[in-house]
Every structure is written in structure tokens, then in C-alpha cells.
């Protein structure tokens, strides 16, 4: 399978070229934590354009406190995209293919006996329609060009649930003592998949999928203000500036940081 057809990124530092796939501009970035020396990047990103014009995006973050995070996150993304490319012959079956791909990835992670765990967030794009599949506390949000929050995934963690229930204010979430706890992970026999609704995108809406290295260093309002405008290259620059050595005092959390940006740039 060639690189245009099936791309997975997990380098210590990698910025993809902008891809123009159907109605969308897509660009991705991944980097290991700036304070890491010999430890690998435990985030993984995958992009799969399908023959029918649909697109599958995936992002995973090997969970801290478990071994082999980099192998586990890569295995999750690789198995998912392998299975989807094998099963998805038309867009009507894409949802079923993604679910089977996630379940197959979970079985493979457990059977590999690596001891690792990972988050996984998946997005399918079919013309102007998007749908998200969520395990863990990586996540995604969609912003309109004028800054409206169109959709966000629910982070499956005590803090994520607390914010959703109104028990924790968003401004408090980024400094909450339970911020690093996650309720649901790939690699567990009781892993569950949260399937979101179909979300219609409008021209110039921007989708951000990210690991918690991004989500825990910016408030939601900061992320929306950054991604809603400018070229995708300018958005990447704004998201990564905080990780430069001269801005290290602004970091709320040191972690690997990865994201996919996707913008609808053509009318259906």
C-alpha cells in the first residue's frame, strides 16, 4: 500500500505536506515532548483516503504509566486503517468498517501482550459529513470561520465528564489534579466506543483532532481562535509556538503533541 493511499506518522518531529483530498485541505503534525531525550514519540497519526472519496483520519496517544506506548498507539492506527481499507467498499458500510477496525485493533493490542494502552479518536469524512469515534481523552472539535463551536468530542476522563456535567468549569479543567486520569483505553477488554452523530460541515469550517499534549495546553476558546482563520500552515505555527524553548514557561503540561487539521475548502 503506497504512502498516498495509507499514511501513518510517528516520528520524533514531523510536519506533513498539505494534502488536497476531495473537498478538504488536510495537514498533520506530530512531535515528541520537548523535554524527552531518548524516549520515543508515543503519539501516532493516520490518514486514509478511500476509493469512493471518503476519508478516514485517526489519532492515538500511548497512555502514560504503561509500557510500549509508541508500539501500542501505532498498532491501533495501523490495524484500524488496514481493516477499514479491506472492508470499506462503499460509503454506506464505512461506519461498520470503522467499528470492526477499532475492535480488531483492540484485540490485536491485547494479544500482542505489550502491556500498553492507548487512546484513539477516529473521524470519517464523506462529502460534507463527518462522524467521530472516541476512546479515551484525545479528541476533536470543529470551528466555524467566525468562531462558532460546531462540535466537540467528549474526553472520556473524570475531568472530561465533570466539564460535560457542569461540575468543573472549563477554566479549572486544565489545572485539575485528575487531568491525567483516563476512563477508557484501547488495550482493555472492556474498552467501549463512543460513536458521535453525523455532523454537516460548511465551507471554511475547520476540524482539529489532537492528543492531550495540545488539548491540555490550550483552552477551548484559545483553540477555536487559533484554528478558525488563516492558512493551515499559519494555524500549525500558532499551535506549536508554545512548545519552543523560549515559551516553555507558558506550558501547562509537558507531553508529546500531535494534531490533524482539516478544512472544508469547496462547496459540495
Q: Cβ(178)–Cβ(240) under 8 Å?
A: no
Of 134, 139, 151, the C-alpha closest to 205 is 151
Distance set, CA 261 to CA 65, 99, 174, 243, 245 (Å): 28, 23, 22, 18, 24
Task: Say how many Å lie between the first and final Cα of the chain, rounded.
Answer: 29
Q: What is the pLDDT of residue 268?
A: 62
Q: What is the 3-state secondary structure (H, E, C) of 189-225?
A: CCCCCEECCCEECCCCCEEEEECHHHHCCCCHHHHHH
10 falls in which pLDDT band (50, 70, 90)? confident
Q: What is the pLDDT of residue 4?
A: 36
The string of pLDDT tens digits covering residues 116-126 is 999 999 999 99
The string of pLDDT tens digits covering residues 88-100 is 666 668 999 999 9
Of 59, 69, 187, 83, the C-alpha closest to 134 is 59
19 falls in which pLDDT band (50, 70, 90)? very high
Residue in this structure with the C-alpha cell 485539575, named with its chain if needed: 176
Residue 178, pLDDT above cutoff 70: no
Q: Cβ(212)–Cβ(137) under 8 Å?
A: yes
Residue 111, pLDDT above cutoff 60: yes
Q: What is the pLDDT of residue 147?
A: 97
Mean pLDDT of the region 51-72: 94
Q: What is the pLDDT of residue 71?
A: 96
Q: What is the pLDDT of residue 158?
A: 64
Q: What is the pLDDT of residue 164?
A: 67
- What's the mean pLDDT when you consider all of the chain? 89
Mean pLDDT of the region 94-117: 96
DSSP secondary-structure letter at 27? Answer: E
Radius of gyration for the alpha carbons in the chain, expressed in angstroms and rounded = 17
Residue 160, pLDDT above cutoff 70: no
Q: What is the pLDDT of residue 1?
A: 34
pTM: 0.91
Task: Read off the C-alpha cell for 201.
Answer: 460541515
Residue 3, pLDDT above cutoff 50: no
Mean pLDDT of the region 169-177: 65
The SS3 call for residue 7 is: strand
The SS3 call for residue 150 is: strand
Neighbours of 153 (CB within 10 A): 21
Percentage helix, strand, coil, to 5, in the chain?
Answer: 30, 30, 40
Q: What is the pLDDT of residue 252?
A: 81
Residue 86, pLDDT above cutoff 80: yes
Task: Read off the C-alpha cell for 45.
Answer: 497519526
Distance set, CA 76 to CA 44, 70, 173, 179, 187 (Å): 9, 10, 28, 23, 9
**Least-confidence region, from 78-82, 167-171, 236-240:** 167-171
Domain 7-264: CATH class, spelled out: alpha beta
Amino acid at each position: 500500500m503506497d504512502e498516498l493511499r495509507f499514511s501513518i506518522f510517528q516520528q520524533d518531529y514531523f510536519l506533513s505536506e498539505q494534502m488536497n483530498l476531495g473537498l478538504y485541505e488536510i495537514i498533520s503534525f506530530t512531535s515528541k515532548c520537548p523535554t524527552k531525550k531518548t524516549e520515543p514519540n508515543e503519539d501516532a497519526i493516520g490518514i486514509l483516503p478511500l476509493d469512493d472519496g471518503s476519508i478516514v483520519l485517526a489519532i492515538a496517544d500511548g497512555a502514560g504509566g504503561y509500557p510500549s506506548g509508541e508500539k501500542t498507539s501505532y498498532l491501533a492506527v495501523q490495524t484500524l486503517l488496514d481493516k477499514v481499507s479491506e472492508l470499506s467498499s462503499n460509503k454506506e458500510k464505512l461506519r461498520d468498517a470503522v467499528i470492526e477496525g477499532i475492535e480488531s485493533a483492540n484485540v490485536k493490542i491485547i494479544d500482542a501482550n505489550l502491556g500498553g494502552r492507548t487512546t484513539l479518536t477516529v473521524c470519517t469524512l464523506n462529502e460534507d459529513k463527518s462522524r467521530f469515534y472516541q476512546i479515551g481523552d484525545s479528541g476533536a472539535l470543529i470551528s466555524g470561520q467566525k468562531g462558532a463551536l460546531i462540535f466537540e468530542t467528549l474526553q472520556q476522563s473524570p475531568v472530561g465528564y465533570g466539564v460535560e456535567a457542569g461540575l468543573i468549569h472549563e477554566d479549572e479543567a486544565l489545572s485539575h489534579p485528575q487531568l491525567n486520569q483516563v476512563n477508557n483505553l484501547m488495550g482493555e477488554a472492556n474498552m467501549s466506543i463512543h460513536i458521535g452523530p453525523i455532523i454537516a460541515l460548511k465551507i471554511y469550517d475547520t476540524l482539529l483532532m489532537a492528543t492531550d499534549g495540545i488539548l491540555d495546553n490550550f483552552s477551548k476558546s484559545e483553540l477555536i481562535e487559533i484554528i478558525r482563520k488563516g492558512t493551515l500552515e499559519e494555524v500549525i505555527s500558532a499551535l506549536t509556538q508554545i512548545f519552543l524553548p523560549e515559551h516553555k514557561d507558558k506550558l501547562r503540561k509537558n507531553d508529546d503533541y500531535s494534531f490533524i487539521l482539516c478544512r472544508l475548502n469547496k462547496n459540495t
